[in-house]
Amino acid sequence: MSSSTSYSIKRILKNNTMFIALIIVMLLFQVLIVATDNGSLFAPSNITNIINQNAYVVILATGMLLCILTGGNIDLSVGSIVAFVGAVAGTLIVNLHWNIYIAIAMCLIVGILIGAWHGVWIAFVHIPPFIVTLAGMLLWRGAALIVLNGLTISPMPDKYLTLFSSYVPSISYDMIDQDPEKAASLTFAVTMIVAIVCCVVFVVAQLLQRNTKRRKGYETSAAGLFIARLMVFCFVILAVASLLGKDKGIPVILLIVAVIVAVYSYYTQNTVPGRYLYALGGNAKAAQLSGVNTDHVMFFAYTNMGFLSAVAALVCVARFNSAAPTAGTNYEMDAIGSCFIGGASAYGGTGTVGGAVIGAIFMGVLNNGMSILGVDSNWQKAVKGLVLLLAVLFDVMSKKRKASK
């Protein structure tokens, strides 16, 4: 094996450490669950549940990553924003009978305004993000209680639930009752077609990105390793799709999350404003001297966090079919943990949207696997805390090792 190939393999393993760890953990849980006769982690219905239960974590982790990139900053208010925007959604749609689409637009605007409110204090008044978002955590939780008067609003209209909680393809109950085999075949076929299209888009995007890097003189991995990576990711997509196709099809929320992840991945990796986030987190003084308006970058990061918190709120209202003042409790911890487990640096300037997604899935698999095995909820929290600590420790030790070279 040549030295260049060996180096490429080491780099791929390093860049995909958490993905490999996720696969190992999933296989370990599968062995334990089967050994204890508790079913299967890879049961089609369970995969659907994992997606539905953790969609909000992926959405919030995507926004939280942008905040962390700016210098290890976090947003403690996202759970409270979810509760408040959910309260607004429930009040407008159920109590005031607003048009659903106008109400959704209003909720998104509220989220953006809340994020901008935080951004002004952080970016232009220069109050530490921890203090501003801690105040926001208390403020918006109190506002949610005021709007709902401490009560829960439910149920939500079917039309609203369809936007976030339905499946592709949409099979009617009449068709399922009359010809269940045809319904199952149609669901599987459509799901696999969508998965194949996703694989083609992914492969084309990766090829274009690789050609762009080579044209600009950047280093790229060996062709064989590049092809192997594409094959692994396509296999994962097709495997997940086959499991979803055997259940209810593709959850609409998965499509929404996929669009969000794709847009923000492109933004952070392929646009100048996106790279400003990394520049700010890497060295704020150098970024300023290079002409980057760091205040505007910080303002955008927190405004965007408010927007994605509103999206997560709409998703959660549909999932629980209610708007409750206790919604969003500890959601900020799930989002922060997902980012750090996914490889984001506690010092800022390092991390990817894909890594945050893997971190969110990792947390979801831990929760789901331990729940199936009947692990006490207190032990579940202890395990997640230990995993988060180890992830940050790995980041700190890596930086020390680089500094010593």
pLDDT of the residue at 17: 75
Q: 298 vs 166, which has greater pLDDT? A: 298
221 vs 109, residue with greater confidence: 109
Model pLDDT, residue 343: 85
Return the number of other C-beta atoms located less than 10 Å from residue 196's C-beta.
14
Q: Is a pLDDT exceeding 70 seen at residue 5?
A: no
pLDDT of residue 377: 81
pLDDT at 345: 85
Q: Which residue did the predictor score with more confidence, 38 or 317?
A: 317
How many CB atoms are located within 10 Å of the residue 279 CB? 20
- What does the H/E/C string look like for the chain? CCHHHHHHHHHHHHHCHHHHHHHHHHHHHHHHHHHCCCCCCCCHHHHHHHHHHHHHHHHHHHHHHHHHHCCCCCCCCHHHHHHHHHHHHHHHHHHCCCCHHHHHHHHHHHHHHHHHHHHHHHHHCCCCHHHHHHHHHHHHHHHHHHHHCCCCECCCCHHHHHHHHCEECCCCHHHHHHCHHHHHHHHHHHHHHHHHHHHHHHHHHHHHHHHHHHHCCCCCCCHHHHHHHHHHHHHHHHHHHHHHHCCCCEEHHHHHHHHHHHHHHHHHHHCHHHHHHHHHHHCHHHHHHCCCCHHHHHHHHHHHHHHHHHHHHHHHHHHHCCECCCCCCCHHHHHHHHHHHCCCCCCCCCCCHHHHHHHHHHHHHHHHHHHHCCCCHHHHHHHHHHHHHHHHHHHHHHHHHHHHC
**Class of residue 251 by CB neighbours under 10 A (exposed 0-12, middle 13-18, buried 19+):** buried
Question: What pLDDT does 258 receive?
Answer: 93
Nearest to 58 by CA among 376, 371, 316: 316
Does the structure show a pLDDT above 60 at 3? no
| pLDDT above 90 (res 121) | yes
Average pLDDT value for residue range 234-238:
92
Closest CA to 315 of 389, 375, 255: 255
pLDDT tops 80 at residue 261: yes
- Assess whether pLDDT exceeds 90 at residue 191: yes
pLDDT at 211: 87
Q: pLDDT of 98-119, one tens digit each?
A: 999 999 999 999 999 999 999 9
| pLDDT above 90: residue 213 | no
What is the spatial distance between Cα 206 and Cα 152, in angstroms, rounded to a whole number? 46
Q: What's the pLDDT score for residue 393?
A: 77
Averaged confidence pLDDT in the chain: 88
Angle value at C-alpha 245, between 241 and 251, nearest 5 degrees = 75
> Tens of pLDDT along 374-403?
888 888 888 888 887 877 777 667 666 665
Q: Which tens digits make up the pLDDT trace of 124-145?
A: 999 999 999 999 999 999 999 9
226: pLDDT confidence band, cut at 50, 70 and 90? confident
- The residue written with tokens 């762009």 in the block is 212
The whole-number pLDDT of residue 225 equals 78
Average confidence (pLDDT) over 215-242: 84
Banded model confidence at residue 183, pLDDT cuts 50, 70, 90: confident
Which of 15-24, 79-88, 126-135, 272-281 has the weakest average pLDDT? 15-24
Confirm if 194 and 169 have CB atoms less than 8 A apart: no
